[in-house]
C-alpha cells in the first residue's frame, strides 16, 4: 500500500489535533469527513484542499471506502460507529475514552480482534520522547512510591460536566496519567479512590471536583494520583508524575520535560518531538505494513486503562477498594 485513504467522523477539537499531523504527510488521501454539524465537516474538508463531506457515516464508509477511520466523537457516542467500521474491516484510531462501560469496550475489542483489523487508541503520551528516556532510565531500578496529578478547570465542551456524557474527569481526562502508570509499571492489582465536591458551582454539573486514587500494582509499586477540575487559575508545572526510585528521583512535567536525578547528577530532557505526529505516523505505518505490533496503545491494551479508571469511579460510588482482574 503506497497511499492511505483516510476519513474522519467527528470534526471538533480532537479532529484538529490529528488532522494537523496528517497534513504533514505526503501519503494520505482524504476521502470523507462527517460531523453532526455539517459546517465543521466542510471546514475540515477545505483545510485539506477539498474532500467529500457526508451527513451519514455509514454512507461515507460505503462510498468513500477509507483504509482508516479516525473516530473523534464525544465519550458517550461510541459503539455503533466502531461496529460499522469493523463490519467493513476498516482500521480505526479512536480517541479516549473509547467507551463509558467495560461491557461495550469489551464487545468492540473482541469484534475488532475477530475481524483482524488494526486499531489504535489516542494515548498520545506513550509516544513522548521524554517518556522513552524515562522508561530507559527505569530499567533495573527499584521503584516504591509514585505520585502525580492532573488539575485544572472545566473544558468548554458541552458533554464534559456530567458523568453520563463524559464518564467524569478521571475517565475522560486523567486517564492519560492512569495509562502512563500502566505503561511504566505494568498491571494494577487494586485501587481505592476517594472524591468530593462542593467548590464548583455550575448548572448541569454532577462531577466530583477532586479525587485521590491509590493504586497498588502487581509489582508492589504504589501510586497516588490526584484529579481535580476546581482550579480558578493556571498553576504552571502542576501536572505530571513524581517517581521515587531507591537510588533516584524522576520528575515528569506533563508533556513538557523530565528530570532524571541520581543525587550525583541531574539530566533534564525537554520534549523535542511532537508526540501526536509520532502517534499518527505509527498508526498509518502499521496499516501500510500490516504490522500492528508497532502501535503502543492498541484497543485491547487500552481497555485495561479504561478498566482502571472505571474502577476508580466504582470505588468512589461504593467507598470500597476495587480488585482488578
List, for residues 85-98, the tens digit of each pLDDT value: 999 999 999 999 99
Residue 82: Cβ within 10 Å count = 25
User: What pLDDT, in 10s, does the model give residues 264-318?
Assistant: 999 999 999 999 999 999 999 999 999 999 999 999 999 999 999 999 999 999 9
Q: Which three cell numbers stand for residue 280?
A: 499518527
Q: Where are the domains of the chain?
A: 4-123+276-298, 125-272+307-323
Overall pTM surpassing 0.85 (yes/no)? yes
* Per-residue confidence band for 325, with pLDDT thresholds at 50, 70 and 90: confident
Which of the 8 DSSP states describes residue 127? G
List C-alpha distances in Å: 133 to 49, 53, 279. 38, 42, 17
Q: What is the CATH number of domain 125-272+307-323?
A: 3.30.360.10
The set of residues, in sequence order, having a beta carbon less than 8 Å from that of 26 and lying 6+ positions away, is: none
The pLDDT of 101-120, averaged and rounded, is 98
Q: What is the mean pLDDT of the chain?
A: 97
- Rounded to whole angstroms, the Cα distance separating 16 from 260 reads 33
Answer yes or no: same fold for 4-123+276-298 and 125-272+307-323: no
- To the question of domain 4-123+276-298 being in CATH 2.40.50.140, the answer is no
Pick from 258, 51, 247: which is nearest to 148 by CA? 258
Amino acid at each position: 500500500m503506497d497511499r492511505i485513504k483516510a476519513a474522519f467522523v467527528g470534526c471538533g477539537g480532537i479532529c484538529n489535533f490529528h488532522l494537523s499531523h496528517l497534513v504533514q504527510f505526503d501519503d494520505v488521501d482524504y476521502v470523507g469527513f462527517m460531523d453532526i454539524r455539517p459546517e465543521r465537516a466542510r471546514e475540515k474538508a477545505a483545510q485539506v484542499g477539498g474532500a467529500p463531506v457526508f451527513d451519514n457515516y455509514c454512507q461515507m464508509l460505503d462510498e468513500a471506502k477509507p483504509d482508516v477511520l479516525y473516530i473523534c466523537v464525544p465519550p458517550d457516542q461510541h459503539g455503533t460507529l466502531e461496529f460499522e467500521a469493523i463490519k467493513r474491516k476498516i482500521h480505526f484510531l479512536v480517541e479516549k475514552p473509547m467507551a463509558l462501560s467495560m461491557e461495550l469496550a469489551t464487545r468492540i475489542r473482541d469484534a475488532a480482534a475477530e475481524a483482524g483489523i488494526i486499531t489504535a487508541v489516542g494515548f498520545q503520551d506513550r509516544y513522548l520522547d521524554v517518556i522513552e528516556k524515562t522508561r530507559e532510565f527505569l530499567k533495573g531500578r527499584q521503584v516504591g512510591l509514585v505520585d502525580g496529578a492532573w488539575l485544572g478547570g472545566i473544558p468548554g465542551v458541552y458533554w464534559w460536566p456530567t458523568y453520563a456524557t463524559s464518564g467524569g474527569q478521571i475517565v475522560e481526562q486523567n486517564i492519560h496519567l492512569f495509562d502512563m502508570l500502566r505503561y511504566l509499571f505494568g498491571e494494577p492489582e487494586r485501587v481505592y479512590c476517594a472524591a468530593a465536591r462542593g467548590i464548583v458551582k455550575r448548572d448541569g454539573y454532577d462531577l466530583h471536583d477532586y479525587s485521590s486514587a491509590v493504586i497498588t500494582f502487581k509489582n508492589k509499586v504504589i501510586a497516588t494520583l490526584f484529579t481535580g477540575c476546581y482550579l480558578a487559575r493556571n498553576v504552571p508545572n502542576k501536572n505530571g508524575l513524581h517517581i521515587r526510585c531507591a537510588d533516584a528521583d524522576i520528575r515528569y512535567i506533563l508533556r513538557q520535560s523530565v528530570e532524571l536525578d541520581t543525587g550525583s547528577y541531574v539530566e533534564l530532557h525537554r520534549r523535542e518531538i511532537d508526540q501526536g505526529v509520532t502517534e499518527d505516523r505509527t498508526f498509518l505505518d502499521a496499516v501500510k505494513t500490516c504490522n500492528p505490533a508497532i502501535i503502543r496503545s492498541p484497543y485491547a491494551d487500552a481497555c485495561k486503562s479504561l478498566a482502571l479508571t472505571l474502577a476508580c469511579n466504582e470505588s468512589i460510588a461504593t467507598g470500597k477498594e476495587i480488585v482488578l482482574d
